[in-house]
Amino acid sequence: QCNLTGQWKNDFNSNMTIIAVNENGSFTGLYNTSVSDNTSKIQQSPLLGFQHLTNPIDQPTFGFTVNWTFADTMAVFTGQCFVKDNKEILKTMWLFRYKENTIEDNWKGTV
């Protein structure tokens, strides 16, 4: 059984804390990235997400948005929590959105 609440670390040493998942599946937390191409000092950033509730909660899918406090950017993550060898593992994919100044530059704003 996967429980998203708690602290998580990825392969790049970024860390995330999910404070609690409530009864409708929504959660809040904090994300501290260790990777950035922004010249500003990296700061811990808030996240807001949802876990898909199944009955019983087994290996749920989830998604969350990070509002980077040190840059005019956003990131969205979607993934699933797996249990392998009694260890909880999050597997995610993400999209990152830069702010662009014109609609003509919109094409290069999402990676």
Contact 7, 19 (CB under 8 A): no
CATH architecture assigned to 6-108: Beta Barrel (2.40)
The domain locations on the chain are 6-108
pLDDT of residue 38: 72
C-alpha span between 105 and 100 (Å, rounded): 6
pLDDT digits (tens, 9 = 90+) for 14-67: 999 999 999 999 999 999 988 777 777 878 999 999 999 876 668 999 999 999
pLDDT of residue 36: 76
Mean pLDDT (the chain, rounded)? 91
